[in-house]
Each structure stands twice: as C-alpha cells, then as structure tokens.
Structure 1
Amino acid sequence: MLSTTATAARRTSVSILGAGTQGRRLAFMWSSRGNNVHLIDAQAHQLQASIQAVENFRASWSTADSEKGDIITHLPHELSAAVRDSWLVVECVPERLPLKQKILTQLDSVAPEDVIIASNSSSYSCGEILQGLKLKNKSRILSAHTSIEIMGHESTDAKHIDLMTSRCAAHGFDPFHVRSPSMGYLYNRIWAAIKREALLAAAEGAGTPEEIDAIFKGVLKTPKGPFEQMDVVGLDVVHDIEQHYADARGDIPSEPREYLRRYLEKGHLGVKSGKGFYDYGSPNRL
C-alpha cells in the first residue's frame, strides 16, 4: 500500500473553497503549470466572475506558450466530488472564526485521508481554528497564506510541510516556512502594524488617507500606499482582522477600528463596492 504522502504526490489537482479575491489569485497560480483547479463557492455569480478574473490574470502575467490548467467550478453540494482528485484543498472563506471552524470540519470529514487541508486565514493560526474541534486527522492541516507562507501547528506532520513547500515552488510561488506559530504569519504581522499606524494617524487627524499614501509611496517607492492597499483587500476584511488582533492581544488601540467603522456604516468597502477611502466609480466584481 502506498503511504499517504506517496498517494498525494501522484495527484496534481488543487481544490479551493471560496472564490473571493484570494481564492481567484490562488486558482490562477495553482493552474499556471497545467494542473486543474476545483473552485467551490456558494454563489454562482462569484464562480462566474472568478473564471473571468483568472483569464484577466493570465492575459497580464502568463506567457503565450505556458500550459494552463482548467478551472472547474462547483457549488457546495458538490464538495466531496471537488476534493476527491486533489492533493491539496485550501479554504479561502471570510475571516470569521466560526465559519472557518465549520469549513475545516467539513473538509476533514469529506476529503480523503491523504489530502492536505490548508487554511488561507490572514490572522487566525491553525491552532486557534482547531481549538475544541474533534477531527479525524489534524496532522494533515496547516496554514498557507500570501505567496506562500506555510505554517503548521503542534500536530502538523512535517512531511506535509515539505510537500507543500516543493509543490508551491514548482507552481511559481515563493514559499517560506514560518517556524513557530505566529499571528499573521511573517509578512501580515508586519503589514498589520503599518496599516494600524496609518489608520491611527488618519483617525487623529495627522493626515488624510491621500496624504499618508503619498508620503508612504514617496519614501518607500511602492506602487500603492496603505489606504489604497486596504481598499483592494476590502475594508470589512481589514476590520475583521483588526478585531481579531484586538481580541487576541488586548493591547491594540480601538481608534483604527472605529475609524474603519465610519466607512463600513456607509457601505464603503473599497474597490469591490466602488468606494472606500477612494472613489472607484462603480463596484468591481472581479
């Protein structure tokens, strides 16, 4: 009988649960070397928009002769079939702990034993998500975020970290191993401090979002400032992440969240709603 690692290594497809911003980008990356991606979401319009988004990414980033895998869309009732032929399934659902716990429990119950289950959470570690859950196999669960930071928990089997690292590199990612549990991984932990101070400066009236972005870009020569980047991420997502940091750490100032709520109460979520810190004219569904 093949070991679980050997069996998983024979599979090439990846399943992604959640067709939002992160799910679409991951679908593009994991399909960029000719392997199929199964994309699962409860909203049919999200799935349809994701296909167009992946095509847009390919037109901008892929070379003409590169092999491309298929993006196969599924609704939630097709979850078992969607993960059956994959070596990896990644959850990309909104940053809400009960939802992530529900999804990981579902994936653990339907995914074959040799399938690695990864959480794409921006701030919740696997240890936090798994706390109190009764799962069949916690050793195959890990965290994977950005491009890509891979972080296990106390029960993660090291061979899954190794397989994730090698497969990520083969698909054009730049994988990094986060060697101990870290809220926000490495990059997002640093980014959280930057965006929090930017929000606090604006809340105090030290500068407007436009002025803070301008000085940030002028000094660091980056294409986007923190407020522009938060608009891309979604101000509701930024608020959820900030709330998690505040709940977990207890030393986070409240002013940045209060400042964000002023925009959320108006329905200004950023690029996806057409208006956030900046006005984008119309909602961007892609």
Structure 2
Amino acid sequence: MRLDLTGRTVLVTGSTQGIGLAIATGLAQAGARVGVNGRDGARVEKAIRQIAERVPDADLVAAPADVATPEGVEEVAGRLPDLDVLVNNLGIFGAKPALEITDEEWRRYFEINVLSAVRLTRRFLPGMRERGWGRVQYIASDSAVVTPAEMIHYGVSKTALLAVGRGFAKEAAGSGVTVNTVLAGPTHTEGVEDFVYELVDADLPWEEAQRTFMREHRPQSLLQRLIEPDEIANMVVYLASPLASATTGGALRVDGGYVDSILP
C-alpha cells in the first residue's frame, strides 16, 4: 500500500518526543506538511532537526504553543490555519495512589488530556467539513479500557477521549471527514522508562526492568514487550491516508493484544 499524503497539512500535538515525534516523522515520510508542536520552542526546533535527519525532504512547520490553553490553540491556528489532518497526541501521565489524587490533579489531567483535543477539534473540524475532506485522530491508551489502579485519573481521561472521538465522528457524518481514536498499548518512550522505574527496582538493567514491568504490571500483553513508537505511528499514518476513507467513529487498538477483547 502507498500511503500518500502529498499536499496535506497536518498538526501533531505534543510531537517533540516519544509517540508524537514518531507520528510526525511517519506523516512526513508519507509526504505531508507537518506542524510540529510543543510548549518549548527550542524543543520544537530540536524535533524538527531529528525528523529532517530521517526525512531529508520533509516539509516541517514549527508550531510551538501550549495547546492545553485556548490561547495556545489560536496561536497554532495562526501558523496552520487550514488543517487536513489533526492528530491529538498531547497527554500527560503518572502514577499516584487513587485516594491521593487531588481535585486539582483531576482537573489538570482533564484539561490537558481531554479539553485540549476538544478545543482543537472545535477549531479545525468546521474547515475540514467545508472542504469535504479531513482526518481527526485522538491518541488514547489501553488504559481507556483497562483502568490502571496506579493512575486512574489518567485512565479516566483516556476513556473520555473514546467518547469524544465517537461524538465528533457523528458531528462529521457524511462530510468526507473521518474521526477515530487510536488505543496505544504500553509503549517504549523516555517517559515510560521513567514510569517503569517508578514501579520496579531502579537498579535493574533496562531489559530486565522492562520484562519485570510487563510481567508484574501488564501481564495481559500478548506481545510481552513494550511497543515501539513507530508501530503506533504506522496506524496513525494509515488512518490519515485516503485508504482509510471508510473507517470512522472507531477505536482502533495498537496494544499488542493487551485489551482482552475480540472487538476492536
């Protein structure tokens, strides 16, 4: 299959590292003009250099802004006024005993993980609908379905994204715009390495720490290893392409079989 996004303009939020950086790279490889986003302008420029090393002819736009705020959304829209593809990847996570999660933390997780995506969709979906083509995606997690006891605030925020995606898919019905959510499984990123070491012996070598984490905290995984960010990006690039024109309103899993379900 040829996943060709030549001529399409894309924004990937939170794309200076990890899954977001892999998604931005994959979309650039498919020929898209890619907006790279993060709060720190220096980190955005670094990410652009990293993508350009892998994709020398990439068409990249620096879009630094805090898109968890209304002001940040408008700042990005000023740089990229007409999007064809919006990938809502921005998110935070962290372990915290359930009874110690404060109201302030619950609000922070909802603001960043959910409302940022809602605001961006509200800003860009109308233009896609008017032009008769577009793709909106939300990067959720297996935690949306299998709520982790050690971070229920994160799990709840990702569960909310499933409803957000399904709801906006109905809003876009019949317009040529598709809206989907991608459920990423336990993925190997720098942030996840830190998270793993919060839960297992910090003195263990990484490979042993990873196996221990999967065995003790993610035993449902059929892959029995952490997923690489590029593997998540492959699904996102496909969903952004014209080949995914009949896939909308869905929650598609790239979870290594972690969610024990025969349905997507």
Q: TM-score range by the shorter chain?
A: 0.3 to 0.5
> Looking at CA atoms only, which structure, 1 or 2, has the larger radius of gyration?
1
Scaled by the length of structure 2, what TM-score is found? 0.45
